Structure 1
Amino acid sequence: MQTDTSSVTGRHGTTIVYDVHRPAGDPVGVVVISHGIGEHGGRYRHVARALADLDYLVVVPDHAGHGRSGGKRMRVDDFSDFIADLDTVIEAVGSVAVPRFLIGHSMGGAIALRYALDHADRLDGLVLSGAALVPGKGLPPVLVKLAPFLGRVVPWMPSTTLPSEAVSRDADVVADYQTDPLVWHGRIGAGLGGQVIGAMADFPKELPSLTMPTLVLHGGADVLADPDGSVMVGDLAGAEDVTVTIYPGLFHEIFNEPERDAVIGEVTDWLVAHTADRGSEPGRLGVESGAVETGE
């Protein structure tokens, strides 16, 4: 797997850095990965490798305010900024003659779902992992109602922190998460939290318009993103081809749990099957890229 790093100018002039993981042969499909809140795309390298081994080209951006991308840390003017930046990255991939899929985890799952609802013509399938699609059960209803307002009025106000122990049952994963300098370890501001909760409010009424093939995966013991959101997709999505798997006992980052091989295997099996269903035309991808970081 060869990895190139590039950047684009996102909304508000923010620099969005993204990696392109290239397979050894001609790509059979393109997979874009949208990471979760407070983390960065580099934490999905093992997922990208599994996909590249199956000849997928994998594109992984760091969201604005995250990782290597520009912008104030953990701040966003509007949730739609994430969708616009993601679209700019996807546009930078160039003209493709193979199927294109989007994977979104946690907050990145909410971004991915919003993107799929807004740009259905640009995707052939959607995969959601531990997606944050409904407010957590522990949040008081009054706070959920006020969150978008508070986010606009006092976006700088510290809100909550993410307990690293809830990320995975794998102690090594938790240790790496805690020491990763590109992971945000402070409090999440009211602005970002309010934008995410505000975006959640639209999903129930808009899910019937989601008609593309969709795979939804969630850890049953996830306390950071409520599994009810994934069940909601299965119940309300308009697509005939929707698969929902809740893994009993797994924590939030199902791609980093001890059972990661089985989870990633379900994703790759689904992608391969839907790539075959979609079909592809011969041709190479014109992917813009920068300097090569690594070659494996």
Structure 2
Amino acid sequence: MISEERSLQGRRGRTIVYDVHRPDADALGVVALVHGLGEHAGRYGHVVERLTSAGYVVIAPDHAGHGRSGGKRLGVNDFSDFGADLERVIGGVQRDGLPLYVIGHSMGGAIALDYALNNPDELTGLVLSGPAVVPGDDLPPVMVKLAPVLGRLLPWLPATALPASGVSRDPQVVAAYEADPLVWHGKIPAGLGGALVGAMTSFPERLPALRVPTLALHGGADVLANADGTRLIGELGGGGDVTIKIYPELFHEIFNEPEQEQVLDDMMAWLAEH
């Protein structure tokens, strides 16, 4: 594997840092790997290794306000900024006609789904891991309606924090997450929280237009992203080629659970079929 760190200017002038990982042999396809809220692309080294070993070029950006990229931490108040930055990153890599796939985790799953709905003819396949598609059951309906408004009025108001214990059943993964200086460990600002909720509420109406072949995977014991969102993709996804798999015992980061090899095997098999 040959890796290169690059950067470019994002939609609002923030520096977006991303990695391009190339396989040692001829490439079969290109994968854009889209990380979740508060984390960064560097946490996916083992996923990148599986993909490059199978012949895929992997593009792995840090979102604006995340990881190595510029901007105030988690300071994105317009959800469409993520998709616009992702489009610039993908456009900055020579693909030579190779098929393009997007893999998105958690909030990155919402970004990837939004990207697929906006660019249906560009993608060969979409893979979602614990995607944030519908609000959690603990968020009252009134707050679902108020969150985008509050985010616009008071974007820097601290809203909620993600409990690290919900990331994985592997204590070593949780410890590494808590010790990672590039992971955001504070509360989510209302601006980003409201922007994400706003995107979520748009999906039920938009999902029937999904035409990209899709694999959606979710941990059945996920307390950070509602698995009903993945089930909703299976119910409403309009493209016909939608595969849903729920792993009953797994927590949020299914690529970092003790059963990660099975999850990765399932993903790689689906990619090979598509």
TM, length-normalised to structure 2: 0.99
Q: Across the two proteins, how many residue pairs are aligned to each other? A: 274
Counterpart secondary structure, 2:33: strand
State the match for 1:203 in structure 2. 203
State the one-letter code of the partner of 2:222: D
State the one-letter code of the partner of 2:60: V
State the match for 1:161 in structure 2. 161
Shift of 1:77: 3.0
Relative contact order (C-alpha < 8 Å, sep 6+): which is higher?
A: 1
1-structure distance, mates of 2:184, 2:113: 23
1-structure distance, mates of 2:126, 2:194: 25
Matches within 5 A, 1:13-24: 13-24=13-24
Q: Structure 1, residues 233-257: CA drift from partner, whole Å, max 9, x if none?
A: 0000111111000001100000000
Counterpart secondary structure, 1:50: helix
2-structure distance, mates of 1:155, 1:124: 36
State the one-letter code of the partner of 2:267: V
Q: Structure 1, residues 12-49: CA drift from partner, whole Å, max 9, x if none?
A: 11110001111001100001111000000001111010
State the match for 2:239 in structure 1. 239
Shift of 1:95: 4.0
Q: Structure 1, residues 67-117: CA drift from partner, whole Å, max 9, x if none?
A: 000011011131000000000001001242211100000000000000000
TM, length-normalised to structure 1: 0.92
Q: Structure 1, residues 211-264: CA drift from partner, whole Å, max 9, x if none?
A: 111000000000000000000000001111110000011000000000000001
Shift of 1:200: 0.7
State the match for 1:172 in structure 2. 172
Counterpart secondary structure, 1:134: coil
State the match for 1:142 in structure 2. 142
Matches within 5 A, 1:72-151: 72-151=72-151
1-structure distance, mates of 2:238, 2:96: 27
2-structure distance, mates of 1:140, 1:231: 20
Q: Structure 1 stretches of 5 or more lacking a match?
A: 275-296
1-structure distance, mates of 2:160, 2:40: 19
Q: Structure 2 stretches of 5 or more lacking a match?
A: none
CA RMSD, aligned part only? 0.7
State the one-letter code of the partner of 1:22: R
State the match for 1:292 in structure 2. none
State the one-letter code of the partner of 2:150: L
Counterpart secondary structure, 2:216: strand
State the match for 2:252 in structure 1. 252
